[in-house]
Amino acid sequence: MLTIRLQRTGTKNRPAFRIVLAQAQRAASKKFLEVLGHYNPRNKELGIRNKERLEYWLSKHIQLSPTVHNLFVDKQFIPDKKIKAWRPKKKQVAVPAEIAPAPAAETKVDT
């Protein structure tokens, strides 16, 4: 399955992203099929390299990553609502030994 997603470029503390068409199963930093544009989060600049190619892939109903979807909604490339792009991490609460439930005692039944 193909997807349009961001691929990080740039240096440490200066992120920049390519908007690429890639296989969904591949790692984000590996091989891609086509570069569709770029995004600079520092100045919120979104550049599309070839708008006709982007419209072609969107007409083929290629899946967008949530972040790319929200970028395209902001820049009005697609008429849609934003979607939730991240999930908060689950907090792991450590349970003290005094409060932890004791293991259930096995009962013997005489027969």
Enter the DSSP assignment of 92: P
- Decide which of 4 and 24 is more confident: 4
pLDDT single digits (tens) 31-80: 888 899 999 999 988 888 888 988 898 888 888 898 889 998 888 888 88
pLDDT single digits (tens) 81-102: 888 877 777 777 776 666 656 6
Residue spans per domain, the chain: 2-74
Is the pTM value of this prediction over 0.85? no
Q: Comparing C-alpha atoms, which of 65, 20, 18, 17 is closest to residue 42?
A: 17
| Rounded distance between C-alpha atoms, residue 3 and residue 20, angstroms | 8
Domain 2-74, what architecture?
Answer: 2-Layer Sandwich (3.30)
Q: What is the pLDDT of residue 16?
A: 92
Enter the DSSP assignment of 36: E
Q: For 74-105, b where at least 16 C-beta lie within 10 A, e where not — what string?
A: eeebeeeeeeeeeeeeeeeeeeeeeeeeeeee
- Decide which of 22 and 96 is more confident: 22
Q: What is the pLDDT of residue 102?
A: 60
Q: What is the pLDDT of residue 97?
A: 63
| Rounded distance between C-alpha atoms, residue 6 and residue 21, angstroms | 9
